[in-house]
Amino acid sequence: MFSPCAVCQAAGNCVRMVIGCLCCILLGGPVLFIVGIVLLVGDNNRADYVQTYNNAVANVDTSGMSAWSTAGTMGETTSPATFAMQSSPVEIHGDLDGINMNGVSFYGQNSVAWPSSATPSLTFSATTSTPFTRNGVQKSTTYSEGVRCRSSFATCSVSRMEDICRDDAGPHATYSGPSCFDGDRCGTCTNTQYLTTYCAVLQRNSGGGSAWVESTHRKSCRYPFDVNAQFYDSASTSPSNLQLQIYSDDDPLIVLESVTFGTHDFGITKAKQRRIGIILLVIGIVMTVAVCVGLCAIGRMVSRNIHRSRGDGSPASVNNNDVDGTPMQPQPYHHHHHNQFPSNQPYNNNNGTTAQGIPVAPVMTYDAQPNYNNNGYGNYNNGMPQQQHQHVVGGQYYEQQPQHNGYGQPNYNQHQAPPTNHHYPAANAAKNY
């Protein structure tokens, strides 16, 4: 069914996608360049963290832990129970380069009935020393957040939103809210998790011996080691049993939680970090240069289109129209000799002489080359007089300006030389025929 809201929503998503692509194209290069610089010059403490963990694996001390299973008790204050010693391998994720994979964790564990009170108090006693008690234990925790619609269609139905809620929060999460448009966040996804394992950390008594006391800086076995950093699991109802665990503060698992910030992943090595930084740096430079070149090309193309739309056919903006806008007619080709001097140059003062007062022959135009007779004189048709031999002294001409006949052609005396081309100054034609 056609829906204007759905069309608007799709158009909005398209606009957001286009803007996102443009941002990636324009900002991707600089961002990769900056990230590459950070990785290239940034610190890498992986080697120190790996060394700390390897030392914990090599120097694990189980002495005195036997008392945990004989005199130790854990449980509610009213009915504490004894526990047994357990061991399990330590799991590590990510790059395993340089890591001792033989780590084994030792801990005491006991399974007790799920506390009946809302905020129970748990007592831990590893030895004959004074036991410690955790009051106000949080048996459950509830998380609520909105659900973002993810669908290939324009909207998500309520059942689709429930599926998304369970996929994100767990199989026992519940959704409350309406249907939703694609990309929007709607309703509330509620997930209730119940306490499954409660863990405490002990440390050796500073007085020595086999006595153990509660750790002063770690209240739980999980990072960030606060009192509520316990093991919870999503469930529809509370479990029937509660697992209680107790660890030593120098146990490999506790050290691993500390140096990896709870991820069990030491990250990449320093060499790999440098290589990745160089790769990102090069990619960022290439992308930035490509974007700059593309923008320059687009700018030049737009500029050319603007000039063409204004009638600018050349960089000099030559206008081939007359003053009133009438197109100018093309003129016939007019040949000039190489040595023809313009009349407005400094060496010609426009009265037929140079700056030194020496006469200069005028520029003359002829329709055809002359034919020469046996005496070396030029014969001209169409009323043109014969051109006679020219005497040159020191490269200068010494004759009077020619007079013009009735046809507009110059009359030459016997001391003026014939032309050698269609258009040229008579001075350049000076030679002995």
pLDDT of residue 148: 92
pLDDT of residue 414: 46
pLDDT of residue 211: 75
CA 60 to chain centroid, in Å, comes to 47
Distance from C-alpha of 213 to C-alpha of 211, rounded to nearest angstrom: 7
Task: Kindly report the three-state secondary structure assignment for every residue of 234-271.
Answer: ECCCCCCEEEEEEEECCCHHHHHHHHCCCCCECCCCHH
pLDDT of residue 321: 54
pLDDT tens per residue, range 76-90: 765 566 678 889 999
Residues of the chain under the 70 pLDDT cut = 1-7, 9-10, 67-74, 77-82, 126-130, 207-210, 311-433
pLDDT of residue 299: 87
Neighbours of 108 (CB within 10 A): 23
pLDDT of residue 294: 87
Q: What is the DSSP letter of 304?
A: H
Distance from C-alpha of 367 to C-alpha of 381, rounded to nearest angstrom: 9
pLDDT of residue 6: 60
pLDDT of residue 38: 93
- Write down the residue that tokens 């809620």 correspond to: 165
pLDDT of residue 322: 52
Distance from C-alpha of 327 to C-alpha of 140, rounded to nearest angstrom: 91
Distance from C-alpha of 132 to C-alpha of 320, rounded to nearest angstrom: 102
Does this model's pTM top 0.85? My answer is: no
pLDDT of residue 67: 67
pLDDT tens per residue, range 241-252: 888 888 999 999
- Write down the residue that tokens 């002063």 correspond to: 216
| SS3 of residue 428 by DSSP | helix
User: Residue ranges of the domains in the chain?
Assistant: 28-44+274-309, 61-267, 337-433
- The residues, ordered by sequence, that sit 6+ positions from 111 with a Cβ below 8 Å of its Cβ are 241, 242, 243, 244
| SS3 of residue 341 by DSSP | coil
pLDDT of residue 99: 96
| Residue 181: φ, ψ to 5° | -80, 155
pLDDT of residue 422: 47
pLDDT of residue 432: 43
Considering only CA atoms, which of 200, 272, 268 is closest in space to residue 49?
A: 268
pLDDT of residue 328: 58
